[in-house]
Structure 1
């Protein structure tokens, strides 16, 4: 399974929604505190892009000696229609400063969040993440494609996803026999998570034979899963 640090860093570098919580900016609107882009630097710091006139930029510009604490909160929502769509939350807290000259677009400013601690609570469980682990963690290689891939699986390969129940246990087989819908819920380099819906919902993981590193390897792994289910 992916480590807590990898899951946290993957969320930071994904397209999930986020908000930057800064003391004293409680009156700011949610959209004013949502960065336009996020990236992680070589030392594990998080760079956040904001309009130059945003409340977060003003607060960071006036802060001195890394005195301004801040928390980046992220919410991960499944990109497919499924009950209980929120897949996870992550928090990265630390100290906020402005980083002049890094924003390439006019009218924008880059802010730098030095990570003090982080945590994640998702489909795998809840864990704290140390700054050093966050800095050295790898990002899941499928993160940039996961939304498109899950939507494609749900719309074009629904029957094959449904057939995966034959590779699992009695509960999954019974769910398929009852006509419960199987929805592809999450995808990472280790495997596919499917949610069986109905009066009650439950998830099942289908692991790949080995971790995938790119789309080509993913296609082979998915074909292997579908072929196994078909036989």
Structure 2
């Protein structure tokens, strides 16, 4: 399974929605707390882009040294329609400073020095040490995950349903009429997580691991072919 640090790093570098919370700072519009760009520096610090007149930028500019604390909260929502769509949340807390000169005119880059981090997702809750977050890398499929899941769901729904044959005792019947609906809900280099929906809203998740971790979309195609072949036997 991916480590907690890798999962956190993947969420930070994804397109999931995020808000930067600064104690004592209130805004009129919630989107004023949403950075329009974010990246991770070599030391594990986060660099967040905001309009130069943003309330967050003003707060960071007026702060003395590194006295301003802040928390970046990220919410991960499944890119397919499925019950319980929130897949997880990540939290990065630390000290916020303005970094002039790194952004285009009218913009400001803020640096969030990572003090502590945690992730609460489909794997469970785990805290992440700043050094582990610094050294981790995002999952290689992260940039394509949403598109891949949507494609599997829309174009290969019938084949996804056959995966219920791999559930063992959990599969009550192998006939097509009794199969639960199968929705691909998460994907990483180690495997595919599928949410099986039984009847109304009752559902459960099953994890299908690949024989070997995949490195790219080409490797994923081979792994998925092997998985579907196993389900059809």
Question: What is the TM-score of this pair, normalised by structure 2?
Answer: 0.95
Alignment of 1:99-178 (within 5 A): 99-103=99-103, 105-174=104-173, 178=178
Q: Distance in 1 between matches of 2:171 and 2:51?
A: 48
Corresponding residue for 1:94?
A: 94
Q: Distance in 2 between matches of 1:177 and 1:123?
A: 29
Cα deviation, residue 171, structure 1:
1.1
Cα deviation, residue 25, structure 1:
1.2
Q: Is the 8 A contact 1:165 1:173 kept in 2?
A: no
Q: Distance in 2 between matches of 1:23 and 1:136?
A: 28
Alignment of 1:15-30 (within 5 A): 15-30=15-30
Q: Is the 8 A contact 2:27 2:55 kept in 1?
A: no
Describe the superposition over 1:125-162 as per-residue Cα deviations: whole angstroms up to 9, x where unpaired. Answer: 00001100100011100110000000000000111111
Q: Distance in 2 between matches of 1:173 and 1:51?
A: 55
Cα deviation, residue 97, structure 1:
0.4
Within the alignment, does 1:200 sit opposite 2:202 as a pair? Answer: yes
* Gap regions ≥5 residues in structure 1: none
Q: Distance in 2 between matches of 1:50 and 1:123?
A: 30
Q: Secondary structure at the match of 1:7?
A: helix
Q: Is the 8 A contact 2:161 2:179 kept in 1?
A: no
Corresponding residue for 1:61?
A: 61
Corresponding residue for 1:186?
A: 186
Corresponding residue for 1:229?
A: 231
How many residues are matched? Answer: 230
Question: What is the TM-score of this pair, normalised by structure 1?
Answer: 0.96
Cα deviation, residue 228, structure 1:
1.5
Corresponding residue for 2:74?
A: 74
Cα deviation, residue 38, structure 1:
1.0
Cα deviation, residue 165, structure 1:
1.2
* Gap regions ≥5 residues in structure 2: none
Distance 1:218 1:76, change over 3 A: same
Distance 1:174 1:34, change over 3 A: farther
Q: Distance in 2 between matches of 1:195 and 1:213?
A: 24
Within the alignment, does 1:47 sit opposite 2:37 as a pair? Answer: no
Q: Is the 8 A contact 2:41 2:47 kept in 1?
A: yes
Comparing 67-76 with 56-65, greater Cα deviation is found at 56-65
Q: Distance in 1 between matches of 2:173 and 2:55?
A: 53
Q: Secondary structure at the match of 1:27?
A: coil
Aligned CA RMSD, in angstroms, stands at 1.4
Q: Secondary structure at the match of 1:197?
A: strand
Q: Distance in 2 between matches of 1:155 and 1:37?
A: 30
Q: Is the 8 A contact 2:20 2:35 kept in 1?
A: yes
Select the residue among 216, 219, 223 that pairs with 2:218: 216
